[in-house]
Amino acid sequence: MSDTVKEIAYESSRYNPHEIEPKWQKKWDESKLYEVDLNDHSKPKYYFLTMYPYPSGDLHTGHWYAEAPADAAARYLRMKGFNVLFPMGFDAFGLPAENAAVKAARRGENVHPATLTYKQIDRMVKQFSQLGAMFDWSKMVVTCDPDYYKWNQWFFLKMYEKGLAYKKQSPVDWCPSCNTTLAREQVVGDDRVCERCATPVIKKDLSQWYFKITDYAEELLNFDNLDWPTRVREMQTNWIGRSEGAEVNFDTKAGKLTVFTTRPDTLWGATFMVLAPEHPYVSELTSADKQAEVATYIEETQRKTEIDRMAEGKEKTGVFIGAYAKNPVTGKEIPIWIADYVLMGYGTGAIMAVPYGDQRDFEFARKFKLDIVAVVKPDDSVDLGALDKAYDGPGIMINSGPINGQIHNGEKGKKSPAVAAAIDYLEAQGIGKGATTYRLRDWLISRQRYWGTPFPIVYCDEHGAVAVPYEDLPVALPTDVEFMPTGESPLKSHDSFLNTTCPICGKNATRETDTMDTFMDSSWYWFRYLTPHKTDAPLDAELAKHWAPVDTYTGGIEHAILHLMYARFFTKVIRDLGLIDHGEPFKRLRNQGIILGEDNEKMSKSRGNVVNPDNLVSEYGADTVRTYLMFIGPWDQGGPWNSKGIEGPTRFLGRSWTLITDEASSDTPADKPTLKELKRAVHSAIKEVTDDFENFQFNTAIAELMTLVNAMSKSKSKQVVETLEWQEGLEALIKMLAPIAPHISEELWERTGHTGSIHLESWPSYDESALVKNSISMAIQVNGKVRGQIEVSIDASKDAILEAAKTESNVARYLENAQIIREIVVPGKLVNLVIKA
């Protein structure tokens, strides 16, 4: 704060956002106000990242809801003294642009996805400028640019060399509408639909490229030192699905058959085995007389989709394959069955069935009349002979040879003494070992589409899949392609792309025509913002060391598993390639909710409930729209748009404007108590607003600023505005408004006689001593109910407070003919008198 009162040239003009917003956007642009010098180490760095959008060509209210508060938070940090990097770019590969091209092809027109995408990017950059955000566009990243996707290919080759990228044939999820395979993560919901178009997926047996994310399963479960919402951590943890247990080997005539179990302690109760119908041992083990029956069952299973299986409920089906395995601890021969409730993709695709302890095995045993042996005794009151369902609770091991008498305490893995004892026994006997499995599958990255990163792989008759040499990168996506009305990738019919030579032998070879999942692009893009045009490496090690990891990352919850898990995986891979020395990309994560239409439904053209931000800006101005979006409620909750609700922030900015630009009319003297109260209000607001910004509570920050404006309006007079206290209040108010409403605050800053941008000012700090009130109001309770209020000085003694409390007229009524048995004084808050009548 300056120590002289500035002359304000009052002029009675109304707040007109349409005049001031374009004016300041232009000035900021010209002065490169938001361009960040990445090599400026004079201030601590802060990397504030918000998820880059797909260039749909139209900035909608959801983008505003995501970006405006993120911008405010980044601006706040800049005023707090950080060198803040707040970049923006475009997730430019993907289906919408390609589908538009295919659609055009059906009409006989030629619309190239690249042309369309870049046009839409131009339009969105312009729309973004309306928002008044401090994006540093000099660092923009566009993922469909060969400069960018070249490095996707580079990373792919590095991973291929390390065995982290591999190709395998297996049943995969296929979206018939998007005409491509999907990663497991992109198949969602009970009805297994495509994440982007909600079409039910089908299974196809295809040879596809994968990233070995499962190698990092254990590390991905570790969220130590990450300030992430529990919800997201929970979702990823569920998805990875860690199970601790043991692998046990059973002897069969086809050789050793390994099963995974979380309950090795119940091995003595394993009375049969079940294999997945696809298990490789099935053909070998099936006896001659069972061949036909087994073949039929396998065929039925294959024909059934997952939805069919679900629709049939959980009624167990299966067939005995005419073979036996030896239970390694009891020595008994137990029958081997196949059933579709055992999945080939999990564990070893084979289970030991313990009908006593597992509900599925129990149902199977009941249906097919198989033995049930009790192995855990819960307590004396349970009749083991009269089971109607499996028992998986705690108890004492029985009928279990060497582990008889061990306690199963109901905990998972080795936390249960019985499980630990069983694993020890298996390992000592050499028949099994402790093991952990994960539900997580490897990331399928092949897509049968055009508009994505080509794989740097060629197929040679002699050498198989061969990596394209690094010096030949990028493998450019050809632009002279014809889109098939069928939706099939044009790469398949593009001769000069398809036909090439083998890098090893020089003979004719063909290129891989699939392209990479676009989640590849977003798995490392934040590094590229640091050096978007670097030609010799994907990232700059020096800059990455200084700027990464990202300090705060914001975006929608819909990426909780997909993008955020892939990005974590990729960061660990890049670390293991030796390019960086950290393994987590985003230190702090905050998710915004979804902004809904006024009818509380998702905004969609078909519902007709879309709120268009361009219209809002032309009606209210960007600052008001920003303020309202932040004021609407907690950011992570989202909620419905309310066209009446925006009136609140509209009036608030209008009142702030008049408070500062209108000459005072009242004549109240600027006496000491008034000024002290004014100062208290200002400093209290600074404290609260600061805390709220730290905690991403934009709604309450704005409420505090409204309170401050109301308080200042009340105390405003010709005399008061002449004081330093008033000026300090005005400056603090404008500064605190700056991150939220950057245009009006810049204008008010100028009009109050300041030079230079408010956005280069530092955040106000508060004085603890200014927060102290002279006197405080205390509630007087009698038996916990408020019966009166007293006003006492801040330093009043406990006795004085009690004296005042008891003589308060309404309180005194209650005290008549009553005995006070307890007196509780909470300083600054209340007095509670406990009486007995």
Partner RNA sequence: GCCGAAGUGGCGGAACUGGUAGACGCGCUCGACUCAAACUCGAGUGGAUAAAACCGUGCGGGUUCGAGUCCCGCCUUCGGCACCA
Q: What does the alpha-carbon distance between residue 835 and residue 820 come to, in Å, rounded to a whole number?
A: 4
Q: By CB under 7 A, which span of 56-64, 422-430, 502-510, 635-643 interacts with RNA?
A: 635-643
Q: What does the alpha-carbon distance between residue 91 and residue 36 come to, in Å, rounded to a whole number?
A: 22
CA distances from 168 to 176, 191, 211, 346, 515 (A): 21, 26, 11, 17, 16
Contact between 231 and RNA per CB under 7 A: yes
What's the 3-state SS for 657-709?
Answer: HHHHHCCCCCCCCCCHHHHHHHHHHHHHHHHHHHHHHHCCCHHHHHHHHHHHH
* 821 sits in which H/E element: strand 819-826
How many amino acids of this chain bind RNA (CB under 7 A)? 86
Closest CA to 698 of 70, 47, 64, 52: 70
Q: Is-contact 629 131, C-beta < 8 A?
A: no
Residues 459-498 as x/- pattern, contact with RNA by CB under 7 A: ----------------------------------------
Q: Is-contact 572 565, C-beta < 8 A?
A: no
Contact between 647 and RNA per CB under 7 A: yes
Which lies closer to RNA via its Cβ, residue 30 or residue 190? 190
Out of 634, 724, 750, 766, name the contact with RNA by CB under 7 A: 634
Footprint of RNA on 788-817 (CB under 7 A): 789
Q: Is-contact 482 471, C-beta < 8 A?
A: no
Out of 498, 633, 676, 771, name the contact with RNA by CB under 7 A: 633
Residues 513-552 as x/- pattern, contact with RNA by CB under 7 A: ----------------------------------------
> Could you tell me which residues are beta bridge partners of residue 326?
251, 333
CA pseudo-torsion sign 271, 276, 277, 282: negative
Q: Where are the alpha helices (DSSP H) in 31-112?
A: 61-79, 95-106
Q: Is-contact 364 318, C-beta < 8 A?
A: yes
Which lies closer to RNA via its Cβ, residue 160 or residue 698? 698
Give φ, ψ of 596 to 5 degrees. Answer: -105, 170
Q: What does the alpha-carbon distance between residue 131 and residue 124 come to, in Å, rounded to a whole number?
A: 11
Out of 171, 176, 241, 669, name the contact with RNA by CB under 7 A: 241
155 exposure class (CB count in 10 Å sphere: 0-12, 13-18, 19+): buried
Q: By CB under 7 A, which span of 255-263, 281-289, 290-298, 607-615 interacts with RNA?
A: 255-263
Footprint of RNA on 402-421 (CB under 7 A): none
Out of 28, 135, 239, 497, name the contact with RNA by CB under 7 A: 239
Contact between 189 and RNA per CB under 7 A: yes
Which lies closer to RNA via its Cβ, residue 81 or residue 189? 189
Contact between 702 and RNA per CB under 7 A: yes
Footprint of RNA on 434-463 (CB under 7 A): 437, 439
Minimal distance in Å, beta carbon 634 to RNA? 4
Which lies closer to RNA via its Cβ, residue 505 or residue 786? 786
Count CB atoms within 10 A of the CB of residue 828: 12
Minimal distance in Å, beta carbon 828 to RNA? 8
Minimal distance in Å, beta carbon 190 to RNA? 6
753-791 core/surface letters (b: 16 or more CB in 10 A; e: else): ebeebbbebebbebeeebeeeeeeebbbbbeeeebbebe
Contact between 697 and RNA per CB under 7 A: yes
Residues 259-288 as x/- pattern, contact with RNA by CB under 7 A: -xxxx------------x------------
Contact between 784 and RNA per CB under 7 A: yes
> What angle (nearest 5°) sits at the alpha carbon of residue 319, between those of residues 318 and 324?
120
Q: What does the alpha-carbon distance between residue 298 and residue 310 come to, in Å, rounded to a whole number?
A: 17
Q: Tokens 């008549």 map to which residue?
A: 816
Which lies closer to RNA via its Cβ, residue 29 or residue 308? 308
Out of 243, 302, 404, 500, name the contact with RNA by CB under 7 A: 243
**Share in percent of the chain as helix, strand, coil (round to 5):** 40, 20, 40
Q: By CB under 7 A, which span of 55-63, 172-180, 755-763, 780-788 interacts with RNA?
A: 780-788
Out of 190, 471, 495, 536, name the contact with RNA by CB under 7 A: 190
Contact between 316 and RNA per CB under 7 A: yes
Which lies closer to RNA via its Cβ, residue 458 or residue 625? 625
DSSP reduced 3-state for 735: helix
Minimal distance in Å, beta carbon 737 to RNA? 14
Contact between 68 and RNA per CB under 7 A: no
Minimal distance in Å, beta carbon 649 to RNA? 7
Footprint of RNA on 557-616 (CB under 7 A): 561
Q: Where are the alpha helices (DSSP H) in 1-112?
A: 17-30, 61-79, 95-106
CA pseudo-torsion sign 284, 285, 291, 296: negative
Q: By CB under 7 A, which span of 448-456, 490-498, 570-578, 700-708 interacts with RNA?
A: 700-708
Footprint of RNA on 169-188 (CB under 7 A): 188
Q: What does the alpha-carbon distance between residue 597 and residue 608 come to, in Å, rounded to a whole number?
A: 9
The tokens for 457 are: 């792989």
Footprint of RNA on 110-169 (CB under 7 A): none
Q: By CB under 7 A, which span of 139-147, 320-328, 566-574, 643-651 interacts with RNA?
A: 643-651
Contact between 713 and RNA per CB under 7 A: yes
Q: By CB under 7 A, which span of 250-258, 280-288, 491-499, 772-780 interacts with RNA?
A: 772-780
Contact between 644 and RNA per CB under 7 A: yes
Footprint of RNA on 357-376 (CB under 7 A): 358, 360
Out of 55, 89, 347, 413, name the contact with RNA by CB under 7 A: 347
Q: What does the alpha-carbon distance between residue 124 and residue 77 come to, in Å, rounded to a whole number?
A: 25
Which lies closer to RNA via its Cβ, residue 10 or residue 470? 10
Minimal distance in Å, beta carbon 547 to RNA? 32
Minimal distance in Å, beta carbon 445 to RNA? 19
Contact between 343 and RNA per CB under 7 A: yes
Contact between 834 and RNA per CB under 7 A: yes
Q: Is-contact 714 664, C-beta < 8 A?
A: no
Q: By CB under 7 A, which span of 61-69, 229-237, 372-380, 798-806 interacts with RNA?
A: 229-237
Amino acid at 794: I
Q: What does the alpha-carbon distance between residue 444 and residue 187 come to, in Å, rounded to a whole number?
A: 12
Q: By CB under 7 A, which span of 53-61, 212-220, 345-353, 543-551 interacts with RNA?
A: 345-353
Out of 1, 292, 505, 826, name the contact with RNA by CB under 7 A: 826
Which residues touch 107 (CB under 8 Å, ≥6 apart)? none
Q: Where are the alpha helices (DSSP H) in 107-229?
A: 113-130, 146-161, 217-220
